[in-house]
Amino acid sequence: MEQFALDAIERITTRPREHSTSITVDPLTPLLGAEVSGLDLSKELTPEQTDDVRRAFLTHHVLVFRDQTLTDEEHKRFAGLFGPLHPVALPAEGSDPYVLEISADKESRAVAGNGWHADGTADTEPSLGSMLHITRIPEAGSGGDTLFANMHLAYDMLSPAMKKFLEGLTAVHDGALPWMGQTPPAEYDIPKNEHPVVVRHPETGRKLLFVNAPYTSHIAQLSRVESDAVLQMLYAHIARTPLLHCRVSWQPGTLVFWDNRCVQHHAIWDYYPHSRYGRRVAIDGTRPKA
Ligand code: SIN
């Protein structure tokens, strides 16, 4: 591996286990994700617990909480500690406008998130993050894991020449792309926005790669051929560099809180015809900035 990539890894490798005063944080890998224990999310968190979760979130980007029994109200209260709730883009009739059902069974012909992506990046202000609470796992007892990828490290591991090339470029994110071959509902106001290819995390200021296959149509300053080649190279880098990834195996009652600003995720649909069910609440984000 090149020295610049090794330097990038060394800069963010985390220590094995962290005890803050109110929670225990066990990294899933040295580079992404952590399991948090010591909290019952159905109870109101103290300010100290909230600060410790926030710190762990900004360090590890994907937090896993096990054995949580939650009502929608408790789920939303926990999410609300990190910002106003982000409404579901196309809520089902009669459903809670802030709770998205994630559901698959033998009737499914596709499942949400079965490919590397960040959520809703065609929005002017994509979500800060999501909290998915899975209550039903596939009947076989395994399958339905979710992969996450660290977009800070994906950027940091690029060569200095590639970083320089990407600096200042912007990409068009088009909400129509995920609907290819289908007709979006008439009431859907399809979002389309241009965001920098390299953005800074709004809380930490760290740079990250902000393009993803389902939403990014092209890089505005390049020809189509050039744009396709550069985007395919970046997507291959994200998908084929396992050290960027962590993998969460769900149990009933697992809640995962991921930072949608600096992490992509991929829900693995390896359990057909079995079922999987959960509920997701998202938090408002801000406009991505270079
Ligand atoms: C998603 O939010 O894209 C779905 C994630 C999952 O089902 O694990």
Residue span of the structural domain in which 251 resides? 3-181+189-283
Place of tokens 């970046």: 234
Q: Does 114 reside within a domain?
A: yes
Tally of domains within the chain: 1
At a CB cut-off of 8 Å and minimum separation 6, what does 253 contact? Answer: 66, 67, 68, 69, 133, 134, 135
* H-run or E-run covering 35: strand 34-37
Q: Does 139 reside within a domain?
A: yes
Q: How far is the CA of 41 from the centre of ligand 1 (A)?
A: 20
Q: Does 41 reside within a domain?
A: yes
Q: Does 144 reside within a domain?
A: yes
Identify the weakest region by mean pLDDT among 21-30, 151-160, 217-226: 21-30
pLDDT tens track for 95-138: 999 999 999 999 999 999 999 999 999 999 999 999 999 999 99
Can you tell me the distance from the alpha carbon of 164 to that of 85, in angstroms, rounded to the nearest whole number?
36
Q: Does 132 reside within a domain?
A: yes
Nearest CA to ligand 1 atom 4: 113
Q: Does 288 reside within a domain?
A: no
User: Is 153 within 8 Å of 32 (Cβ atoms)?
Assistant: yes
Set 60, 61, 117, 245: catalytic member: 117
Strand partners, 82: none
Residues in the chain: 290
Q: Does 150 reside within a domain?
A: yes
Atom of ligand 1 nearest to the CA of 248: 8
Catalytic residue list contains 117: yes
Angle of CA points 279, 280, 282, to nearest 5°: 160
Q: Does 289 reside within a domain?
A: no
Q: What is the CATH number of the domain that holds 260?
A: 3.60.130.10
**CB-ligand 1 contact for 63 (6 Å cutoff):** no
What's the chain's Rg over C-alpha atoms?
A: 19
pLDDT tens track for 250-279: 999 999 999 999 999 999 999 999 999 999
